[in-house]
Amino acid sequence: MSQDIDSDKQVIAKQTTITFTVSSGPKRFALRDLSGYNEKSVRDYANELELNLNVENEYSDDIAEGTLIRQNPEAGAMLSKGDTLTVVMSKGKDPATQVKQLSKTISVPYQAVSSESSSASSTSDSAGDSDSATESSSSSVKPVPNQIQVYIADSQHSLDKVYRTLSITEDTDVTMNFTVVGSESAHYRIVRDGVEIMSGEVKQ
């Protein structure tokens, strides 16, 4: 505050007008909309206007990592030098909630199974059969299939329910697809003719 007549000057009160200049306070300005700013740009802006900056971080599924999510005060608010601006910056998507796809292929071994029908046929053959007839009979016997059940455990399946069934007559590759969330792992087990022969864990 100031006045146009010095404080120690004598004046005639009725004949004198004194003008006072009163401060309107610190210069104020409207806060900019910082949408789309990265942290460096926010800091540069705060430094330029001599604002105290408070930076927080949180995950966001919608805002790219390193980009502003929100600001406080909001855009358009009137501030002065030394006021505090709080911004929340994106850390990107939360890895603990991200859905991922895993895949694993394993070779399921075939186990030969003796055929009762071929055994019965063999015992009924006469002693006088020729070697060529015996070879022809043996080559016509088809392998008995193994019955395979595949179980998997992931975010959508449990190990107590069959994921896939198949019959094999030779070693066979089986591909399993898993859906997991975050850092979870998946599991599987393979049953052949009622006996578990394989199990394991599938990690990311």
CATH code for the domain of 169 = 2.60.40.2560
Give per-residue pLDDT as tens, 116-129.
544 444 444 444 44
Q: The domain containing residue 174 runs over which residues?
A: 94-115+144-204
User: Are 184 and 150 contained in the same domain?
Assistant: yes
pTM of the predicted protein model: 0.58
Q: Is the pLDDT of residue 172 over 60?
A: yes
Cα(68)–Cα(56) distance, rounded to whole angstroms? 10
Is 72 among the domain residues?
yes
Give per-residue pLDDT as tens, 32-59.
999 999 999 999 999 999 999 999 999 9
According to the model, what pLDDT value does residue 116 have? 55
CATH code for the domain of 58 = 3.30.10.20
Helix-, strand-, coil-residue percentages of the chain, each rounded to 5:
15, 40, 45
User: Are 79 and 40 contained in the same domain?
Assistant: yes
User: Are 38 and 99 contained in the same domain?
Assistant: no
Q: Per mean pLDDT, which range of 7-16, 41-50, 149-158 is the poorest? A: 7-16
User: Are 83 and 107 contained in the same domain?
Assistant: no
Which residue carries 């069934």 as its tokens?
Answer: 165
Q: What is the dihedral of CA 16, 17, 23, 28, to 10 degrees?
A: -160
Is 125 among the domain residues?
no
